[in-house]
Amino acid sequence: MESSAQGSTGTETPAAPGSDGLSRVPAQSRSDAVEYGGYGAYGEDTGRERCGPADAARGEHPHSETSAPAVGLARAAAAAAAVAASAPSRPVVQRASVRGQILDALRTALVTGELLPGEVYSAPVLGERFGVSATPVREAMQQLAQEGAVEVVPNRGFRVAVRGARELAELAEVRALIEVPVMLRLARTVPGDRWVELRPLAEASVRAAASGCRATYAEADRIFHRALLALSGNEQLVAIADDLHRRSQWPSADGPARRGRADLVADAAEHMSLLEALAAGELDVVQTLAREHFAGSSG
C-alpha cells in the first residue's frame, strides 16, 4: 500500500481519486515518510457531492493539477505550498501533518455525507483509499471519536454516529443558550468599528454558500462564528461553541445533509443581517436573528 512517491524521473506521483470518490493522499515513501498536502479531485463517476475549483475557498497544489475538495484540505495544501516555496527542490512536511490532512479529509467526508451514518469503516481500508498507512487514519478517527462523530467498534473499525433531527435540534438549542447572551452583551459593549472587521468573513461565507459545497460553507460558517465570539475574549467559550458548531454540521440519519445551495445562501445572508444588527446595537433584532439562525442551521 505504501509505495514510493517518486518515479524514475524524480517527479511526484499526483493524487488519484479512489473508486468510492474519497480523494487519495499522495503515496508515502518508506524511507522518507513525508507528505505533500495535495489531494485529488473527487471521482467523476461517484455521483457524490463535489467541491471543486468553483468553491469560494480553493487550494492550489505545487505538483498537481487537481484542487482540494474543501476548504479544510485547501488549508493543508496551502501549508504544503509554503513549505515547497522555501525549499523548491524537495518539499518537506512534518510526518504529523499527514494525520491533520486525513482528519480534514474525514471531516469533509462527514459533512458531505460520503461517510454514511451507521456505517463501519476500518482504518486500513480508509488508509488504502487515501494512499497512506492505517496509522494516521486511526489517529484521525480517534480524534473524531472524542468529538462524537464516530464510535469505536472493537476489531472492526469506527462507526459513523447516527444522529436524528431531535439531536440536531438539541444542539441548536444549546448553541443558542450559549451564544445569544454573549452576542447581546457584545452588541452593548463592542465599538462599531470592530464589527466592520468581521464583514469580510461574513462576505466570505456568502461566497462559500454560493459555491453550493456544504464542506466549504461549513468551514466559512464556523470561521465567522468563531471570530464573532472571540470578541468576548473568552477562549474557553470559543472552544466549546466551536465544538458544538462542528457537531451540528454533521448530517442526520435521514441521509446526507439535504440543505441545498439556496438554503446555504439564505443561512449566509443571515450572517450579514446579524452583523448589521450587532453594529447598530439593535438588541431585539440580534436576539431574533440569532435564534432563527441556530434553528435554521439544524434543519
The string of pLDDT tens digits covering residues 113-158 is 888 889 999 999 999 988 899 999 999 999 999 888 999 999 899 9
For residue 113, give the 3-state DSSP assignment.
coil
What's the pLDDT tens digit per position in 174-211? 999 999 999 999 999 999 889 999 999 999 999 999 98
Within its chain, how far is the Cα of 239 from the centroid? 16
pLDDT attached to residue 99: 87
pLDDT attached to residue 58: 31
User: In this structure, which amino acid lies at residue 144?
Assistant: L
Q: Count other C-beta atoms under 10 Å from residue 295's C-beta.
A: 14
Higher pLDDT, 197 or 95: 197
Domain positions in the chain are 1-162, 165-297
DSSP secondary structure, 196-255, as one string: HTTHHHHHHHHHHHHHT-HHHHHHHHHHHHHHHHHTT--HHHHHHHHHHHHHHTS--TTS
pLDDT attached to residue 214: 87
What's the pLDDT tens digit per position in 232-290? 999 999 999 999 998 888 877 664 445 678 889 999 999 999 999 999 999 999 999 99
- Calculate the alpha carbon distances from 157 to 67, 150, 181 in Å: 29, 10, 41
Q: C-alpha cell of 182?
A: 454573549
Q: C-alpha cell of 165?
A: 433531527
- Calculate the alpha carbon distances from 272 to 168, 178, 222, 251, 290 in Å: 24, 20, 14, 25, 12
* Strand-strand pairing, 157-160 and 150-153: antiparallel
**Residue 164: pLDDT band by 50, 70, 90 thresholds?**
confident
Is residue 162 over pLDDT 60? yes
Mean pLDDT, all residues of the chain: 73
- What number does CATH give the domain 1-162? 1.10.10.10
Is residue 96 over pLDDT 90? no
In sequence order, which residues have a C-beta less than 8 Å from that of residue 89 and are 6 or more positions away?
none
In sequence order, which residues have a C-beta less than 8 Å from that of residue 129 and are 6 or more positions away?
18, 20, 22, 24
d(CA 227, CA 195): 10
**pLDDT-above-90 percentage for the chain:** 44
d(CA 257, CA 116): 11
Higher pLDDT, 89 or 21: 21
Q: What totals of helices (H) and strands (E) does the chain contain, helices first? A: 11, 3
d(CA 102, CA 27): 13
Average pLDDT over residues 75-81: 41
Average pLDDT over residues 214-227: 93
pLDDT attached to residue 69: 34
If you average pLDDT over each of 11-25, 43-57, 173-187, 256-270, which comes out highest? Answer: 173-187
pLDDT attached to residue 59: 31
pLDDT attached to residue 20: 53
Question: Do 36 and 61 meet the contact criterion of CB atoms below 8 Å apart?
Answer: yes
**Residue 98: pLDDT band by 50, 70, 90 thresholds?**
confident
**Residue 34: pLDDT band by 50, 70, 90 thresholds?**
very low
User: What is the layout of strands, in order, in the sheet containing 120-121?
Assistant: 120-121, 157-160, 150-153
CATH architecture, range 165-297: Up-down Bundle (1.20)
